[in-house]
Amino acid sequence: MPLQQTMNANSQENQDFGMQFVTSCDLPMPWATFQLHAFVEQSTGKEHLALVLGNVANGLPVLARVHSECLTGDALFSQRCDCGPQLQAALQSIAKEGRGVLLYLRQEGRGIGLLNKIRAYQLQQEGADTVEANHHLGFEADLRNYNICLPMLRHLQIQSLRLMTNNPRKIAALEQHGIQVSERVPLIIQSNPHNQYYLNTKASKLGHLLPGDK
């Protein structure tokens, strides 16, 4: 089938699952040249990305990271969280292996949005932890939705993930939506004085695994 027809067929297939593939291109990065795939979530209009390296469609488990957008951490180098370092570490690990995928989901602030995340930061400055701040603003601790991952992975013909995460709940959520996770790969980042309380809260209240945990 010609390339354009294949793209149109894939676009229609993903649209049926609420996610439409739009286009792809090469993206040179400091660690390797990834292939960047762009998708649109039909119900919200949000744009999501997949960064792919190597042959991920051969049926073997794929080293993967499912990373929710964190503008302050990913782009502005905030030390309040570990998001930016985890993003870079995941891309470095994929480049080192020569094969993998990173799904970049537009779910800022665990789903509450950028402005509300900044409001939550102000509450944290006043002594609240990240969970208490979300609750004070009227939100659940984590509002992220992982059902958008399945059509993206189907488009890429990925069948199973070796998932880089410290969050067992993320694995459970992905599996609930029909995604096979064959292995959890720890993604441990050195803490700093600004995010130690945040990391401790993620461990104690959100079930994240600290270094040394299985």
Mean pLDDT along residues 123-131: 91
pLDDT in tens, 67-126: 999 999 999 999 999 999 999 999 999 999 999 999 999 999 988 999 999 999 999 999
Say which residue, 165 or 204, is predicted with more confidence.
165
Query: What pLDDT, on the 0 to 100 scale, is given for residue 210?
Result: 72
Which residues lie below 8 Å from residue 36, measured CB to CB, with a gap of 6+? 24, 25, 26, 27, 49, 50, 51, 52
Q: How many angstroms separate the CA atoms of 116 and 108, rounded?
A: 9
Q: What is the pLDDT of residue 195?
A: 84
pTM value is 0.88
155: how many CB neighbours lie within 10 A of its CB? 21
User: Mean pLDDT over all residues of the chain?
Assistant: 88
The sign one gets for the Cα dihedral 147, 152, 153, 154 is positive
Task: Considering the candidates 80, 142, 154, 184, report the single residue annotated as catalytic.
Answer: 142
Which residue, among 145, 150, 155, has the nearest Cα to 179 in the 3D structure? 150
Residue 18 C-beta-side C-alpha neighbours within 13 Å: 9
Q: What is the pLDDT of residues 20-78, one digit of tens each?
A: 999 999 999 999 999 999 999 998 899 999 999 999 999 999 999 999 999 999 999 99
Residue 112 backbone class (left: φ over 0; alpha: ψ -120 to 50; beta: rest): alpha
Can you tell me the distance from the alpha carbon of 157 to that of 164, in angstroms, rounded to the nearest whole number? 19
Give the residue from 70, 67, 40 showing the smallest Cα distance to 51. 67
Residue 188 confidence (pLDDT) above 90: no
Active site residue 65: no
* pLDDT score of 17: 60
Distance CA(70)–CA(78), nearest Å, equals: 9
Amino acid of residue 25: C
Is 142 annotated as catalytic? yes
User: What is the share, in percent, of the chain residues with pLDDT greater than 90?
Assistant: 70
24: exposed, middle or buried (Cβ count in 10 Å: 0-12, 13-18, 19+): middle
Task: Please check the confidence at residue 4 and state whether its pLDDT lies above 80.
Answer: no
3-state secondary structure of 134: helix
Please give the helix or strand (H or E) that residue 86 lies within, else none.
Answer: helix 83-97
| Active-site position among 80, 110, 144, 184 | 144
